[in-house]
Amino acid sequence: MFDEKAKTNSWLTHTSQSSQEPNKRMDDNSLRDTARFWLNQRFSYIQTYSFNRGPKLAAFNQAAKQRFSAVRQELLTAPSARLPAMRENLRCLERGWDLTSLLLTEGENAYHITASPVAIITADSLDAERLAAILATPVCHQFDWMCGPVYRDALAFYDAQGRLRAVLNICFGCDKMLTDQQQEIAADSSTYQRLKQLLIELGHVIDDKYQ
């Protein structure tokens, strides 16, 4: 039998040696936990992202509020012929105002408006080895928080040509993970604690307000 270190090294080697191969989509059931999600990834590097927090979010919210107020003010004096279009504009602003329900990506090249790249983890790095060990943790204990997830951190997997292969969105506030394919990924409660610490060490600013 392998000891835990040997299993982790073997697991990491499997991923690194296959970094030039395109991702092979597996059925939904194969991606249900972090261990199986990781084993399905073929990547050259991981870019970590922070979004839905920080100066970009504050600037967007301020601009949206100002635009919303301006359109409402215009409604008071606008001719009746313009009212339907202006009301539709208000509805669009209201729908677009709430960014918290969005994931990091919509398609391969459409990133969240508040997203900022933080760190790069190459497939053969020590940080990738640490990440592999964290995601290998068996799912034994989970919290079932009574809140809706707001994803603010993400791991984006790229191949050697810089093509986006997969994204793992993470909410540390309610311990949830969701892929770019809308697949929920189960993780042990300790996985979130260790992953949060790793991302903080890599430069993510994760506080109690914006987890």
pLDDT digits (tens, 9 = 90+) for 151-194: 999 999 999 999 999 999 999 999 999 999 999 999 999 999 99
User: Domain ranges in the chain?
Assistant: 4-52+102-202, 55-97
Helix 4-17 vs helix 126-135: angle between axes, to the nearest 10 degrees?
120
User: SS in 3 state form for 45-94?
Assistant: EEEEEECCCHHHHHHHHHHHHHHHHHHHHHHHHCCHHHHHHHHHHHHHHH
Q: Which residue has the higher pLDDT, 86 or 199?
A: 199
35-82: pLDDT as tens digits: 999 999 999 999 999 999 988 877 777 777 777 777 777 878 888 888
Q: How far does Cα 70 stand from its chain's mean position?
A: 33
User: Cα angle vertex 74, ends 72, 80, to 5°?
Assistant: 105
Instruction: Give the pTM.
Output: 0.73
> pLDDT: is 207 or 127 the higher one?
127
